[in-house]
Amino acid sequence: MERKGLDMLNKMLTPFDAFDALFDGLGRYSLAEEGETLLTPRVDIHEDDAQFTVEVDLPGVDKKDLKVEVENGTLIIEAERKTEEKENRKAIRIERVARARYRRTFTLGDEINGDDIKAELRNGVLVVTLPKREKALPKRIEVR
């Protein structure tokens, strides 16, 4: 695409678009080591009678660069995304950070069975299943 076409595309954005983008990013980014950004990934948390399910957006993260652990009653999710620089390519516009670390923590209550936690990475989404302890499961009492 010509430079002229890019300038037109950029001019179509209003000042409100830039303002919205600024506030949309607040609280999700912070500086880590030099040349690296620490991201707070977005999550969805669901609950049913047997478990909690945490779905974490981790785009571009390989399974080998992902760590999920429970320490002192806290679920810790850490990941790193590395983007390889390609030779013979000229950057026109860069919005993604080349190297980023993700970190998110959750305090687990007593109702979680920490021994049976499972995690699976599917298409850039980490799905962590947190089963409830037996005593936390609802129990139906038969009325006679």
Reported as a pLDDT band with limits 50, 70 and 90, residue 15 is low
Residue 8: helix, strand or coil by DSSP? helix
Q: Which of 119, 143, 107, 101 is closest to 53 using CA atoms? A: 119
In angstroms and rounded to an integer, the radius of gyration of the C-alpha atoms of the chain is 21
Q: Indicate whether 90 belongs to any domain.
A: yes
Give domain status of residue 10, yes or no: no
The pTM for the full model equals 0.67
The strands making up 118-122's β-sheet, listed across from edge to edge, are: 43-47, 51-57, 125-131, 118-122
In a domain, 56, yes or no: yes
Does residue 131 belong to any structural domain of this protein?
yes
Query: What residues form DSSP beta bridges with 33?
Result: none
Give 18's DSSP letter.
H
- Domain region containing 118: 30-136
62: domain CATH number?
2.60.40.790
25 lies in some domain: no
Task: Tell me if 19 is assigned to some domain.
Answer: no
124 — phi, psi (to 5°)? 80, 10
pLDDT in tens, 98-136: 778 999 999 998 889 888 999 999 999 999 999 998 876
CB atoms within 10 A of CB 117: 19
**The pair of three-digit structure tokens given for residue 51, joined into one six-digit string:** 């478990």
Residue 72 CB-half CA count within 13 A: 1
> Cα dihedral sign for 103, 101, 125, 42?
positive
| pLDDT, tens digit (0-9, with 9 covering 90-100), for 49-97 | 899 999 999 988 999 999 999 999 899 999 998 877 777 888 788 777 7
Please tell me the total count of domains within the chain: 1
CA–CA separation, 104 vs 58, rounded Å? 11
